[in-house]
Amino acid sequence: MLEIDELSDFEKNISLKQYTTFKIGGNAKYFIAVYDEQTLKKALSLCKIYNFPFFVLGKGSNTLFDDRGFNGVVILNKIDFFQDLGGGRFSVGAGYSFSLLGNKLSRLGWSGLEFASGIPGSVGGAIFMNAGANGQEVSVTVEKVLYLHENGLLQEYTFDQINFSYRKSIFQELRGVIVSVIFSLRYSNEARNRQLKLIDYRKKTQPYSEKSAGCAFRNPKNDFAGALIEKVGLKGFKVGEACVSLKHANFIINESNASSTDVLKLIQAIKDKVFEETGIHLESEILYVPYK
C-alpha cells in the first residue's frame, strides 16, 4: 500500500470552470496535470490503488461538469508534443491542440485536417469522439493510437482496431487514456486555402467567441440538428442562463453564469420539442460528467 504522501502530486478542490469551454462546473476533489507518460501511469496507478474514479480532460470542449464538481480525480492531459516523422506522417501528443494541429499541417501543405482549425478540443478528444466537420472526419487521417489502460497496460491500436464511426470510437468503451496519435496525410497545394475558407465560414456561422461546448447534438441521418432545432422555433430559447444560440441553433450558450442543471434541462427540452414535432430523436454530443 502506498503512503498517503503519494497523493501530494494531486491538487485538491480545484475549480473546473476554468478548464472547460462552457465555463460551468464545481470543484474536483483531486486534480493533476500530466505532461508525460510516466506521470500519467503514476496517476492511473494511484487511482486504482485508492479506488478513485477518474476523468480525463483535454481542452475541455464537449464537456459539462456538474455544479457540485467531480468526487474523484480529474486528469488534465498536457502531453502535447509534435513530431514530423517524414512523408506526411506525424506523431502528436493527445494533449496537443486539435485546432493548432489543423492550422500547422495546413500551413505545411498537408491535407486531411483542414477542418480542425477553430475546433476547441485536444487531439485525444478528437480521436475519442471521431471529430468531424464540413464532410471531413479525423478518422481518415489516423494510422495508429497509443493508449494507456487503467491497469497500466500500454497498447497500440491500428486504424482497423479503433472501430471508428460517426462520432464514435472504441475508446468510448474502454477505461484509460489516449497518449499519442500517428497521423498520415497527403500533400496538397490547396490545403492552406481550404483551411482558411473553413475557419472563415466557421467564424461567420457559429458563436465562435461565446461560452459553449461546441455542437450540442449529433446530426441525425440525412439531416442537421441545427436545422431541426431552428425549424421547431427554439432559436434563442432559454432555461435559466443557458440559451440556444441565435447564430447557430446546434450550439448552447452559457450567457453569464449558467448551471449544469440549466444546460441539462435545456437539452431535454430541445429533445422533447424536436421529437414531438418531427419524430426524430436527437442525441446529445455534450458529455455530462456527474458528481459521482
Please compute Rg for the chain using Cα positions.
Answer: 19
Assess contact for 253 and 212: CB atoms under 8 A: yes
* Sequence-distant (≥ 6) Cβ neighbours of residue 217 within 8 angstroms: 225, 229, 250, 270, 282, 283, 284, 285
> Annotated catalytic, 68?
no
Considering the candidates 114, 137, 167, 192, report the single residue annotated as catalytic: 167
From CA 34, how far away is CA 120, in angstroms rounded?
19
Q: Is 129 exposed, middle or buried (0-12, 13-18, 19+ CB in 10 A)?
A: buried
Would you state the cell numbers that stand for residue 68, as one nine-digit string? 457540485
Taking alpha carbons only, the member of 212, 258, 247, 217 closest to residue 66 is 258
From CA 213, how far away is CA 236, in angstroms rounded?
17
> Annotated catalytic, 285?
yes
Q: Provide DSSP, 107-123.
A: HTTEES-GGGTT--SBH
Residue type present at position 17: K
Assess contact for 164 and 142: CB atoms under 8 A: yes
From CA 110, how far away is CA 123, in angstroms rounded?
17
Considering the candidates 6, 37, 143, 285, report the single residue annotated as catalytic: 285
Backbone angles phi, psi at 83, to 5 degrees: -135, 125
Considering the candidates 47, 137, 215, 243, report the single residue annotated as catalytic: 215
Would you state the cell numbers that stand for residue 145, as one nine-digit string? 493510437
DSSP reduced 3-state for 272: helix
Supply the residues annotated as catalytic. 167, 215, 285
